[in-house]
Amino acid sequence: MNYELAFSAASILAMIGWLVLLASPFYPKWSDRISGYLIPLILSVGYVALLALSPSHDGGGFGSLAQVMKLFSYPDALLAGWVHYLAFDLFIGAWQCRTARAEGMKFWLVIPCLALTFLVGPVGLLTFAVLRRGSLQLQTGNA
């Protein structure tokens, strides 16, 4: 398997999903379909294929930090981990857009959350949770 090609293809596919999310105020249904489901599912199929086609790795696993380090020293396992991050972070970004839209949250508040979710996933999720709570409080007058 050409790991560089698979890495590039997965990364480009995910980037397309993120760009679609930035256009989500203009095309919400297409954004939901493409970035919220289609691309994460394609990445998930790739992830499953990587797991199925990967040989077992002696000493690698998830039981300790040393085992995880050993596991990710193999290119196929590292690529699978990367695809995992791409799929889940994009799915979370799409969820943020859907949730913000449904709750009347201004999109300009979501943009930094998307950037943070793209770069440092959990930080973006945390930022969205904080901004969402503040937005809801302002809307209901419970600030």
pTM: 0.90
Q: Which two tokens stand for residue 70?
A: 């050993």
What pLDDT sits at residue 139? Answer: 67
Percentage of the chain lying above the pLDDT 70 cut: 94
Helix H or strand E encompassing 5: helix 3-22
Q: What confidence tens digit (pLDDT) does each residue in 48-82 have?
A: 999 898 877 787 888 999 999 998 999 999 999 99
Q: Which of 31, 10, 26 is nearest to 91 (CA)?
A: 31
What pLDDT sits at residue 60? Answer: 84
